[in-house]
A and B are shown apart, each in its own frame.
Chain A
């Protein structure tokens, strides 16, 4: 920065020579203020999404910069919500980016007093083993009259109302093939 530009950038100089003699406006504007821009404008991409809270289904725009979500706000194109969000929808950014979010598989042994970390693949193998064991222990081929039952009552599941249709579809499909009928979600509550 040359001396001349440095002086011209100096608020008092600008105040004395410019259009803002009281120095409360243009002359007082800092370099930072002058270069401010909305982070939504500098995002790398925008994903079209839907609010994850209630079932009104408000449109959301998710702004991504450097593979991080930097802002979530209402989608003005949505005929449902016209760009608006409630306090929960407006908190979606912190829902997604909060440091309180769990990021590791945690495991609590029988009679254990605290969590321990577990490798994801190991945990998946352990779940598969337990599903098969529970199924074996509780399998029912037929009722007292010999009519087929083809099921287990040893496995339960609750949840789905906050999941995607595609997820619910796979859950129902897999559980049905496993013979596990006890699956429920918030729609029963």
Chain B
């Protein structure tokens, strides 16, 4: 956090100065570790074993916050008798289909509700469309009335299942899997549990490297289980906080430039699952379901009204038929491979630099070299615009300018100072930026670019008789003359009451009858009372510590989600020290420092009437209001591709045999088995020793992602001028590496070179009786800019988390050797020789399932 988010870290330092204990768990000793009370070096890729050990400690010692757990989590719910755990099946859950390597999730459901698994049972399609992402704002559908055992004794209740699942994650196993001495591990357990409860809360902070694993979603789930068991969710000083690394990466998920989502986490229509408007909406709202998602039709109709205006009518299903349909995986890695295969004609790059920033840089560049045309919009000249003349493949002769057919357009972009608009920062807060000056020369905002591209397309297709052009013809597209008005776009996002022309103040005002519009329902309210709430700048020193009058957070300006849980079931603060939002019986409403994340006047004693659905079905104690059952989920009965509980799997590339299960790696991980995307061998396969070291990558304070905004600036380039690799003194001795000398790092994809920093900030770990060396690389370098160097992401292959299709790029295996890498064609031969020694012959396809009876019946 100190490394990549230094200004956010001021609050950690301040907390530490006030007595908080700061624990940093990371393979490498970073700037964060330097200020932490304790640094725990851990093996990269073993986080579920570590956190699972903490779950086991909590349950084994009954350290959970029982009142909270009973009231607000699904601990007491009874799971189907057909459920079988990874403990029973050597690392697989019940329902595994070896044909697709996905699960039928029916047996994971609550008892008596197995048929509700519904569409989630088809997890092969779910994986293709990254369906897990839809749950960013809400849970998947589950029935409201589930059998429960408040004593938590029923062997099939979630609490007992959790206990059995993690029983083997003992301090000894944590030490064996993660390399963390048990004393150090117990120190973390004791600190975390002692600092949680009525009087105290603990915050879990992760940076989004956590998502870059083949089990990334389950990493975060394990953290969430701990925080729920300890009562740290929805409370001040608690939570699971993601530190995201781009100015508006949260915003670009909420209002997605993502293939599988529409604004507000509505799913993109799927050709088979959502042929009609009705089926599409029903999949979102699930008739009869509890919670706010039940109003999905209003959100969907309002979006289509925002898109198509008067042309969207009830008779034409609000223009639903004009929307394009998914058929499967259309993610960025699928696209890169499709480019290599010549399936894609044109590519827009908008402030993004995949030649350096995406996994498997070589595949990215070879893909771009096989397009008809490429549009790059950026502030500076980046590697993705010059791959045809300066990329590593030019050096090896695989790409030459004379033979590369791709037509490349570079458009200079306007900087943040040269356009108005909002960023959504990592805690869902929108902040409006004023425009300071005009952009220089031909530089334009992306708002300008797409507005004028859209105007051109509309003009050219205005008289087209083709049905395919109706969507563009009917698209509402009036945002001003030359420079479009950002405020006008934000108002469209907020939405209008179309009968009065007034801006909406809340998504609860949205209607399914076509009388309201709104481009992103969770952002409705950013123009509450007709005022741009995101532009509010009341100084922090002049308001309460929650600072609700600075910017605007979705939904409804709530700063802490599920904050109903900061009060006990009766609506009273858990303690005076931790009071945040509570029920005021005098006034008959919820009140506190934040906007209550609950219906303001629904009392804690409210019980839903028989047969209620939607919001009315939420009881006065259902704090997790977007969840189908109103509860925080320790166990996920439906909706995750890889299982209802996080389980330790080895990374896709590991030199260690999974000590816990026969199943080595996540059996449902998304793989692209192609000769141009080889994976280093892991046990039980042979030749894992060809790549005997673990590597991880991350950021330096002095640089930003792929370097386009930092390696171009002298003041940042001078602070970290060269690509380097960090190794421990022990590894340096083992491989003959010298401080400041050159070394090269090799995987089945590439060999890159770097200067060596020998440092004790990296520590060899003892894993399962052997020494495991880890090395670390920053990933900021490429061939353009004031300072240049090889790209760490070239080392990484494409293997994805099955829930969200994010690549495993924070852990892999490699070799490291002293000296610079070979150049030219010799480099290709050098890497090919590693592949040969590793048994990665063309066409070889490793088995995914490695349980002891993998060859037999599951």
A148 to B470, CA, bound (A): 14
Contact between B246 and A55, CB atoms less than 8 A apart: yes
Q: A92-B416, A120-B411 are in contact. List 19 more A-B contacts (CB 8 A).
A: A47-B435, A50-B423, A54-B247, A55-B244, A55-B245, A57-B429, A67-B438, A69-B436, A87-B6, A103-B443, A104-B441, A123-B409, A132-B460, A134-B346, A152-B324, A155-B347, A166-B421, A171-B446, A188-B258
Asked whether, in the complex, the Cβ of B436 is within 8 Å of the Cβ of A49, the reply is yes
- With both beta carbons as reference points, the residue of chain A lying nearest to B471 in the complex is identified as A177
Given contacts A62-B417, A158-B354, A186-B246, contact A56 B450 (CB under 8 A): no
12 residue pairs A–B, Cβ–Cβ below 8 Å: A57-B423, A80-B550, A103-B440, A123-B409, A153-B330, A161-B247, A167-B445, A174-B450, A178-B472, A185-B256, A187-B252, A188-B805
A22 interfacial by beta-carbon distance below 8 Å: no
Within 8 A of B (CB), among A28-87: 45, 47-59, 62, 64, 67-69, 72, 75-82, 84-87
- In the complex, number of A-B residue pairs with CB atoms less than 8 Å apart: 476
Q: Which 5 A-B pairs have the closest CB atoms?
A: A57-B425, A79-B540, A159-B350, A103-B441, A164-B421
Interchain CB contact under 8 A, A56 and B350: no
Q: Known contacts A47-B435, A106-B409: does B257 contact A159 (CB below 8 Å)?
A: yes
B249 to chain A: closest residue by CB: A161
Chain A contacts of B358 at CB under 8 A?
189
Contact code string B682-709 (vs A, CB < 8 Å = 1, else 0): 0000000000000000000111110001
Chain B residues with Cβ under 8 A from A164's Cβ? 248, 251, 419, 421-423, 433, 445-447, 486
Q: Which residue of B lies closest to A130 (CB)?
A: B373
Q: Is B343 interfacial (CB-CB < 8 Å)? A: yes
- Whether, in the assembled complex, B498 has its beta carbon less than 8 Å from a beta carbon of chain A, the answer is no
* Interface flag for B806 (CB, 8 Å): yes
Interface mask (B391-434 → A, CB under 8 Å = 1, otherwise 0): 00000000001111111111110011111011111110111111
Please name the residue on chain B nearest to A183 by beta carbon.
B257
In the bound complex, residues from chain B placing their C-beta under 8 Å from that of A6 are none
Collect the chain B residues with CB atoms within 8 Å of residue A127's CB. Answer: 375, 409, 453
Whether the pair B331, A108 counts as a contact (CB closer than 8 A) is no
Chain A residues with CB under 8 Å of B540's CB are 77-80, 82
Partner of A179, one of B442, B445, B471, B545: B471
A122 smallest CB distance to B (angstroms): 11
Contact with B352, one of A56, A58, A161 (Cβ below 8 angstroms):
A161
CB distance from A117 to the nearest CB of B (A): 9
Q: Are A169 and B263 in contact (CB under 8 A)?
A: yes
Q: Which of B212, B409, B701 has the most CB of A within 10 A?
A: B409
In the assembled complex, which residues on chain A have CB atoms less than 8 Å from the CB atom of B704?
A: 53-54, 88
Chain B residues contacting A90 (CB-CB under 8 Å) are 715
Q: Is the CB of B330 within 8 A of A182?
A: yes
**Residue in contact with A101 in the complex, picked from B373, B412, B446, CB distance below 8 Å:** B412
* Chain A residues in the interface with B (C-beta under 8 A): 45, 47-59, 62, 64, 67-69, 72, 75-82, 84-92, 94-96, 98, 100-115, 118, 120, 123-128, 130-134, 137-139, 141, 143, 147-174, 176-189
Known interface pairs A55-B244, A187-B249. Does A166 touch B321 (Cβ–Cβ under 8 Å)? no
The interface stretch among B166-174, B332-340, B614-622 is: B332-340
A52 to chain B, nearest CB (A): 4
**Cβ of B716 under 8 Å from chain A:** yes
> Of B17-25, B293-301, B488-496, B728-736, which binds chain A?
B488-496
| A55 near B447: Cβ-Cβ < 8 Å | no
| Pairwise interchain contact A165-B493, C-beta atoms closer than 8 A | yes
Do A147 and B709 touch (CB < 8 A)?
A: no
Q: Quick one: closest B residue to A154, CB to CB?
A: B345
Interface segment among B94-102, B282-290, B376-384: the answer is B376-384
**In the bound complex, how far is the Cα of B842 from the Cα of A112, in angstroms?**
34
Given A98-B713, A177-B471, the answer on whether A110 and B407 have CB atoms closer than 8 Å is yes
Q: Does B178 sit within 8 A of A, measured CB to CB? A: no
A156 is contacted by which of B346, B461, B701 (Cβ under 8 Å)? Answer: B346
Q: A57-B425, A132-B460 are in contact. Are A168 and B407 (CB under 8 A)?
A: no
The answer to whether A69 and B417 have CB atoms under 8 Å apart is: yes
A176 contacts across to B, CB distance below 8 A:
262, 307, 323-324, 471
Q: Are B324 and A181 in contact (CB under 8 A)?
A: yes
Q: Name the residue in A55, A67, A124 with the highest tally of chain B Cβ atoms < 10 Å from its Cβ.
A: A55
Nearest-neighbour CB distance to chain A for B542, whole angstroms, equals 8
The answer to whether A159 touches B259, judged by C-beta atoms less than 8 angstroms apart, is no
B456 interface contact, C-beta 8 A:
yes
In the bound complex, do residue B710 and residue A158 qualify as a contact, i.e. CB atoms below 8 Å apart?
A: no
**Contact A166-B250, Cβ < 8 Å, known A55-B243, A174-B475:** no
Chain A neighbourhood of B254, CB < 8 A: 165
Asked if B575 is at the interface (CB within 8 A of a chain A CB), the reply is no
A84-B259 CB under 8 A given contacts A47-B434, A95-B713, A113-B389: no
A163 touches B252 (CB 8 A): yes
Instruction: Mark B487-524 against chain A: 1 for CB-CB distance below 8 A, else 0.
Output: 00110110000000000000000000000000110010
For B332, what are the chain A residues with a Cβ–Cβ distance below 8 Å?
158, 184, 188-189
Establish whether residues B380 and A101, one from each chain, have CB atoms under 8 Å apart when the complex forms: yes
Partner of B245, one of A54, A75, A128, A152: A54
**Residue contact B257 to A185, C-beta cutoff 8 Å:** yes
B137 interfacial contact with A, CB 8 Å? no
Stretch at the interface among B141-149, B267-275, B812-820: B267-275
Q: A62-B436, A103-B442 are in contact. Are A168 and B251 (CB under 8 A)?
A: yes
A38-B449 Cα distance, complex, nearest whole Å: 37
Q: Which of A48, A113, A134, A150 sits near B345, CB closer than 8 Å? A: A134
